Structure 1
């Protein structure tokens, strides 16, 4: 073997490792908001609904960008598109770190939301540079490192915010993103674009982006500001019209953004439905727990600051990373249906128990760990199954759709949880009543139990 080939292989391994490091940094940048959300609400003078918007602004952009990024990566090469998107993420991180108030912080979060597109692009690169067996493992590891970055972000958010400033929470991960992107750009070979019979389906991209953006912003308005029934109906009609237009365009396009025949495959539409249910339940738990930790200790809460909240959320972040890492392997060894049923039972039992048992910190810590583990295993198992059920030319589109489904589910859960807390807030103190948290945990349990029904209805697809 020539020296040049040896150097090429070594550089490729280093570059794949840098992809993992980039996922770690992006996960940290995304996760710093969760434990610091009560602090940000106090600093910015906003309530639970607007606080949820700070976290979900990133997810709104992610919902729009993920499928588009996957399509562009399939067409033009994952590396080229990834480097461009990371430039936008870095700009958003810088903007958030110098934000003087809520509007600029939201804009920074919107730009950082482009990071969600890094996942399908990383899967494209892994799939093209590794054999199928190794690619499955690598996809799980990339997802695990993204979730593991959440562990890092959760752990350091408190000390950084309390000893430096909340702006530094965004600045430090942004520096790492810039460094890791530079390593990937320098060492990873350019991946050849997939052959295509036509150009980019821009009308399809615009309509899909418009559908997702309208849905996400409408969700924030309906659950946060409380739109009247007529306004909520108008949002629903707009989403339905945009979605119908997208389907019509895709059916007629010579080179569609998404081949609708893919959506007809049980492996994909089962994965989308189940991912949305699983992540909605988890999104509610992930939002409610930090809020409960921050409630003053002279009532039913714990009166914790950002550092204390981060430490108590840390086991859950670790469990989520473990779940993402082993999801594909667990599905292969135990069967996808078994993994999903067990995960749904664990999450439902845990959240129903939380509705009445939430007076000790260990109860909440254990609940976060169990629900994060179940959600990580289930969603990653669904993603790897769908990604390896299609050709390499469709990997970016399929994984992008599943990533955006995951994002929408978490955002939906967070906004529903915020709406329940706002509805149950004391008019004098502004603090939510304990019953609002109990209701939120019970609703999360019902949503999780719904996935059992979905699994049963689609059992023939699992056998296939």
Structure 2
């Protein structure tokens, strides 16, 4: 395809290597929290419910940035947007690395969440500056390194946190991100905007961010602080008001970040329900397993340190990486609905089985592998759904934002 190369300036191997190493560092940064979560709770003196915010706040920003990252790249240029997003991620990583308390760490995690825009923006740059065959190879390399970064973070978070301190497990990947961003700024040619009139739904982004943050913080307060009914009601009203405002804005926006009208189609809302089941099950297991591994061995747990927790979680990270590559193939062969149902069945069955089967380490390892396979296949299959032709840059449904 002649339009695959939109710029006469080709990028060299150093530029592709910088994108790949950047993806590796980002994958590492986003994965260090899970094995170190019990350690972070001890060091910061917070409850498990508050500790759960450390991993989930990153997802809030990601859910908002994911639907619009490509639009931003088209409107302002992929390199320009990528460099600015990485500056935000770097600030978040440094904040997390220097955090003296939970609020500062949470702020760092919120800023790091914009990293989800790095992959689509990297793909934009590669496609603009390389022919089709070479661009596909480069995209595969970047994706593989991002996945590998997740394994690196899972494996080395413990040794870094215990050998140096937990601050360094955020700082080291951040240093690599800063270095690679500088290399990209220097070597990557500028790419002109291709859709200057591609409007961004800024009010929708702000309201969705507020809704998700209010819901998460409210959930932690309700479950952890024993709030009186009046305070619980006030939190519920605030979340409902923000959500209602977001829906109203999305329904009126000329270019919404999520096309809510698509929810009227049964296939879409069925996918929403199945995706909610998969993500909820996956989130429960991802939070509970490190807690069980870290609890004292004379109780319900196994008394493992952070390094050992990372080793036991590594098979699940590998299984998730493999299943990510199979989701699209499975969707084409069996259909999206069948794959989502299969993923939901596997994840729910795993959670139910864990209720009674959690007395041996191997049982938790198998549970992590199964939940990673179910969620990985389901999420990748969902992302293969093409957007509506009239809105090629707009997700068809909220699940497209949640992954």
Pick the TM interval, shorter chain. Answer: 0.7 to 0.9
In 1, Cα distance between the equivalents of 2:130 and 2:269? Answer: 26
Contact 2:259 2:396 in 1 (8 A): no
> Pick from 405, 408, 411: which aligns with 2:402?
405
Partner Cα separation in structure 2 for residue 351 and residue 228 of structure 1: 31
Shift of 1:70: 4.7
Give the TM-score normalised by structure 1.
0.74
**Structure-2 residue corresponding to 1:45:** 45
Write the distance in 2 (CA, Å) between the matches of 1:322 and 1:117: 22
TM alignment of 1:155-304, pairs within 5 A: 155-195=155-195, 197=197, 200-261=200-261, 269-304=269-304
**Conservation of the 8 A alpha-carbon contact between 2:272 and 2:399:** yes
2-side partners of 1:327 and 1:144: how far apart? 15
> 3-state SS of the aligned residue for 1:23?
helix
CA separation in 1, counterparts of 2:378 and 2:402?
A: 13
Corresponding position of 1:117: 117
Conservation of the 8 A alpha-carbon contact between 1:383 and 1:402: no
Say how many residue pairs are matched. Answer: 399
Q: Shift of the alpha carbon at 1:186?
A: 4.2
Q: What is the CA deviation profile of residues 364-389 of structure 1, one whole-angstrom value per residue up to 9, with x for unaligned ones? A: 1111011111111111110122xx33
2-side partners of 1:5 and 1:67: how far apart?
23
Question: In structure 2, do the counterparts of structure 1 residues 206 and 94 end up closer, same or farther at CA, with 3 Å as the change threshold?
Answer: closer
Verify the 8 A CA contact 2:262 2:396 in the aligned structure 1: no
Structure 2's unaligned 5+ residue stretches are none
Q: 1:176 to 1:390 in 2, by over 3 A?
A: farther
SS at match of 2:66: helix
Q: State the match for 1:339 in structure 2.
A: 339
CA–CA distance in 2 between the matches of 1:401 and 1:130? 32
The two structures have a TM-score, normalised by structure 2, of: 0.84
Conserved? CA contact 1:29–1:174, under 8 Å: yes
Deviations 1:282-306 (A, max 9, x none): 1100111111011111223211001
1:137-152 equivalences under 5 Å are 145-152=145-152
**1:143, 1:325 within 8 Å by CA — same for their partners in 2?**
no
The answer to whether the aligner puts 1:93 opposite 2:113 as a matched pair is no
Structure 1 residue 166: Cα displacement: 1.1
225 and 140 in structure 1: CA distance in 2 versus 1, 3 angstrom threshold = farther
Q: Tell me if structure 2 keeps the 8 A contact 1:141–1:324.
A: no
Higher mean alpha-carbon deviation, 197-206 vs 313-322, is at 197-206
Alignment of 1:324-335 (within 5 A): 324-335=324-335
Cα distance in 1, alignment partners of residues 308 and 115 from structure 2: 27
CA contact (8 A) 2:63 2:401 kept: yes
CA distance in 2, matches of 1:134, 1:262: 35
SS where residue 398 of structure 1 aligns?
coil
Change (3 A) 1:7 1:69: closer
Output one character per residue of 1:393-427: Cα deviation in whole Å (capped at 9) or x when no partner: 743x4299546423xxxxxxxxxxxxxxxxxxxxx
Conserved? CA contact 1:120–1:399, under 8 Å: no
Q: 4+ residue runs of structure 1 moved beyond 6 angstroms?
A: 4-7, 126-141
Give the aligned CA root-mean-square deviation in angstroms: 3.6
Whether the aligned pair in 2 keeps the contact of 1:67 and 1:400 (CA below 8 Å) is no
3-state DSSP class of the match of 1:46? coil
Aligned equivalents of 2:134, 2:236: Cα separation in 1: 43
Question: How much does 1:118 deviate?
Answer: 2.9
Unaligned residue ranges in structure 1 (runs of 5+): 407-464
Matched, 1:66 2:66: yes
